[in-house]
Structure 1
């Protein structure tokens, strides 16, 4: 693709009668290449395929997006420049009144990140926790809700009930016809009867079933983030693999060769008619 500015591509997408899905993909790719991204995060594109993933979830530069539990802001670094001119980004981070030191430390680091660069000036910081009464975004306002590798955290809190409650919050925030995009570490079907809850992996069948119970319709799956080298049978779960390397230097070359986890990539739709 010819090197042009993100602003130029955004204008083409928004104002040209010929704009199409390829224009949106070009805009996403330019956001992926944005100079504000950290070098360490860019190195992980080979495992996370951000341009293809966001395109699959139907992002456009004028989408209203809710990013759930953005952590350190890996995807925020891409979403913020993409949506800065004509879209809207809600970052639903840990609650500000949490008693968890982990939550408070990571939220504070994220707030500091947002304040450090004007590319984040229009990001709206909200809060998310399972059964939290605060809005992640105004009800019925979002075109897209995104969650990356979070389902296992919620499921470990209270099983089906916790994950179902999270899905219901996403459903409330979305417009009719809106998209829920889910990326999660995928448990092999052969291991569904094992003690998997603390492994970091989630059965795809379960992720889909609970989303459907919340009212969503599964529209499509993608192998964009699949990794057949991942056997998902490690003593320290998914955190054995990069980037966590729970075993530190032990067998590090082996886990580097495997790469990041095998992930399901699911696109759900909130029905237009109830």
Structure 2
């Protein structure tokens, strides 16, 4: 049971000016209590929508939604996984309630803050969370409040197309899934958006840092490559110079060796010839002396 808060929902219907404050002050003193069962009679369309949602999630039609069925619904119908699915499963089962009946689902929706959203809250949700601002005028004109969310969440419902006049199938599906998320698990758009913004900011910072490190590393590698190329060119130049010197030394050594051989050969020949001439002169002298002796003896 909750205090009557429905008058806040009709805040935009009350008289403007000083009468609004007076009316709200009067309402705040009312001590009328309305139960979830009473609300079934006041909002039969909303209760019927909750019943249909429960029927869609209750695969075995046992009258209760267990954790396996809720997990399967999150995975298959809402395409959620990981941390998002775990958080919504805890919110749906209130961390400890293993079986959810139609009345449990209705009482949870009846007591939720989202059901008490005003038309302004709905327009804000439509524009900033659903991202379909083109239908804001429809919501304002028809004074759509939080009670309509359960009707929007029902699959194959004619409420979106017939009552709200939304014909685009993609827009209807998007609006239905967003409304379904709010009805079953509560609104977490602000926290989720903040978390996503923080995660995106961190991701951008990490990406920029990685790019800077890669750029620095690339510049450093390019510089090192240029230095290595210069050293390699220098080594090749030194190798070429060394080979030229080596060839010159080899040529000089070969020439020197040939000249030395020729010099030694010429010197040896000259020595032999000189000795031969001396020997011939000696022989001639000896022969001449012997002849003189013979003549002398004959005389």
Establish whether TM, by shorter chain, passes 0.5.
no
- Higher strand fraction: Structure 1 or Structure 2? 1
- Higher helix fraction: Structure 1 or Structure 2? 2
* TM-score normalised by length of structure 1: 0.22
Larger Rg: 2
* TM-score normalised by length of structure 2: 0.21
